[in-house]
Amino acid sequence: MSVVYCSPIVFTPGRSYHLCFSSFLPTPTPPHCVQLKTSRQCVVRKAKTYISRVAGDHNNTTVPSSLLVAEIEEAKAVLSLFLRKQGLSNAVAARTINKSDLFIDHLISKLHFIYKSRYLVGRELTTLEIRNALVPYLESLLIKHGDLLVDVVENFPYPPGTLGKTGTIPTVASDGLNSKKERAIARVSQRSPEGLLPPHVLYLIDLGMDLDQIKGIARRFPAFAYYSLDNKIRPVVEFLLELGVARTDIPTILHKRPQLCGISLSDNLKPTMTYLENFGVDKSRWAKVIYRFPALLTYSRQKMKATVDYLTELGVSEENIGKILTRCPHIVSYSVEEKLRPTVEYFQSIGVDASSLIHRCPQTFGLSIEGNLKPVTEFFLVNGYSIEEVVTMVTRYGALYTFSLTGNLVPKWNYFLKMEYPRSELVKFPQYFGYSLEERIKPRHAKMREYGVSLILNQVLSVSAEDFQKVLERKVGKVSTAVAFQEKCSGDSVVSADTEKD
């Protein structure tokens, strides 16, 4: 039985199509494909029927072309993210989307069907609304087709496995992904007869962005070029300023996550913030949270709840969950099943209290087990430390696993061997690896040797320059006093011996 794709394909203005129609009915009749150039009569008849059905669905809905372009880019962004979550690389996901114009149009038609009432009142869809409509549909296709999902996407409207057997592959004449980016860049660069840039571009420049930065955003996320100044960009910017975000930080935030401007303040952004505050996010620190990770407010509540539920399952208290979300909002981006749970299981397997570690250093749980965690563990084991000592070190210094082996641990370890400390000194003070080798460790070690004294690593590195100097002088004073005392004792012994001889 063939797959039935019920939603119509949107005919986007300005795009030329080689049309292919298939019945996909539960009959043994193979799909019939007719190209426009070779069978005009059949295509015209099919097209009239199709357009009549589209008109029936959307007879009261007129979508401006600029908005349609933005929706297409939003749909592509959702599909790209979904494919990458299934394990595709960025390059493969991009190639798939570039070959999937008919499927993208199919997604747009679903949006128009689901949100028909919104279009009737002239309301634009937010990024989150588009995502919430399309992701469940993509998940249903994944469940149904499994590993054939990419085939479904690229070859739509053909069922998987039928192309090359019963008809001609449907092709769409398209300017390609690059030209879409170029059109977005052209839109933000276009000047009026008076020589002025578009209003939303002038507004962003007034905020401190330059035209090249804005072009860069349009290149990465073309939908941004079509966002309305008064309905999308300005309200979000003003809201961020009200939260206490510095005006100078706005360009950085928009550059990190331009999709933020596609979210409705009243329907999505503010309720999401309240939702997170209920989990303990410090409302007085929203400015810092958003600056660190503006993408936080673009995630679905289901995604956030999944993270919080897992932290609760792990035994993290409500108070500490709030602190984690405030200090490291990136943790919401980590997949529970693909990242958090496997990382917890790894640390538990070597004896680390994962609940305590995720509270003290949550960013550790975003690292690769095979690429980061295991190599660091092996590094210390190979250099003579027991697994118990490694656990003690990471317990005392949670950030230990976040450092690069080649760029940090290895060079600092090599220098540590020259410092003539016992290896146990690192177990007592693993924070050693958090200090700059050239700006802190080497200069202070050299100064300590210059004074001819010996200090533990904690005294050498953890104090300020002024306090370090005082520690050295105190140590020198103690040494001098001890030497003088020893000399005095030696002198007294000599005098006593001479007296006895007399």
CA 246 to chain centroid, in Å, comes to 22
pLDDT (tens digit, 9 = 90+) per residue, 440-450? Answer: 999 999 999 99
Strand intervals (E) in 294-409:
none
On the CB side of 2, CA atoms within 13 Å amount to 20
Count Cβ atoms below 10 Å from residue 150 Cβ, excluding itself.
19
pLDDT (tens digit, 9 = 90+) per residue, 26-54? Answer: 333 344 343 333 333 443 343 333 333 33
**How far, CA to CA in Å, does 290 sit from each of 184, 362, 444?**
26, 17, 38
pLDDT value of position 178: 60
Compare 154 and 46 and report the one with higher pLDDT.
154
Does pTM top 0.95 for this prediction? no
Q: How confident is the model at residue 189 (pLDDT cuts 50, 70, 90)?
A: very high
Intra-chain end-to-end CA distance of the chain, in Å = 122
For 9-49, the DSSP string reads PP--TT-EE--------SSSPPP----TTT-HHHHHHHHHH
pLDDT (tens digit, 9 = 90+) per residue, 374-412? Answer: 999 999 999 999 999 999 999 999 999 999 999 999 999
Q: Is 80 exceeded by the pLDDT of residue 344?
A: yes
CB 325 within 8 A of CB 280: yes
Q: Is 50 exceeded by the pLDDT of residue 55?
A: no
Q: How confident is the model at residue 215 (pLDDT cuts 50, 70, 90)?
A: very high
Phi-psi group of 267: left, alpha or beta (phi > 0 → left; psi -120 to 50 → alpha; rest → beta): alpha
Choice among 168-172, 230-234, 258-262 with the minimum mean pLDDT: 168-172
Q: Is 90 exceeded by the pLDDT of residue 143?
A: no
Q: How confident is the model at residue 301 (pLDDT cuts 50, 70, 90)?
A: confident
Token pair listed for 24: 């996909």
Q: Is 80 exceeded by the pLDDT of residue 293?
A: yes
Compare 344 and 28 and report the one with higher pLDDT.
344
User: Which one, of 1, 53, 49, 50, lies nearest residue 25 by Cα?
Assistant: 1
Q: What DSSP designation does 233 have?
A: I
CB 127 within 8 A of CB 74: yes
Choice among 255-259, 298-302, 444-448 with the minimum mean pLDDT: 298-302
Q: Is 60 exceeded by the pLDDT of residue 204?
A: yes
Q: What is the sign of the dihedral through the CA atoms of 481, 486, 491 and 496?
A: positive
CB 461 within 8 A of CB 432: yes
- Please tell me whether residue 125 adopts helix, strand or coil conformation: coil
Q: Is 60 exceeded by the pLDDT of residue 185?
A: yes
Q: Is 90 exceeded by the pLDDT of residue 288?
A: yes
User: Which one, of 186, 180, 216, lies nearest residue 71 by Cα?
Assistant: 180
Q: Is 60 exceeded by the pLDDT of residue 213?
A: yes
User: Which one, of 430, 440, 442, lies nearest residue 403 by Cα?
Assistant: 430
pLDDT value of position 41: 43
CB 70 within 8 A of CB 94: no
What's the rounded Cα separation, in Å, for the pair 244 and 207? 15
pLDDT value of position 140: 80
Count Cβ atoms below 10 Å from residue 338 Cβ, excluding itself.
11
What's the rounded Cα separation, in Å, for the pair 334 and 325? 12
Q: Is 90 exceeded by the pLDDT of residue 358?
A: yes
Q: What's the rounded mean pLDDT across residues 317-338?
A: 92
pLDDT value of position 164: 41
User: Which one, of 227, 174, 231, 300, lies nearest residue 66 by Cα?
Assistant: 227
pLDDT value of position 14: 42
Q: Is 60 exceeded by the pLDDT of residue 268?
A: yes
Q: Is 90 exceeded by the pLDDT of residue 357?
A: yes
Q: Is 60 exceeded by the pLDDT of residue 2?
A: no
Q: Is 70 exceeded by the pLDDT of residue 195?
A: yes
Compare 372 and 73 and report the one with higher pLDDT.
372
Q: What are phi and psi of 192, to 5 degrees?
A: -75, 170
Angle at 153 between CA 147 and CA 159, to 5 degrees: 80
> What percent of the chain clears pLDDT 70, i.e. is strictly above it?
75
pLDDT value of position 264: 87
**What is the overall mean pLDDT for the chain?**
80
What's the rounded Cα separation, in Å, for the pair 471 and 477? 10
Count Cβ atoms below 10 Å from residue 480 Cβ, excluding itself.
10
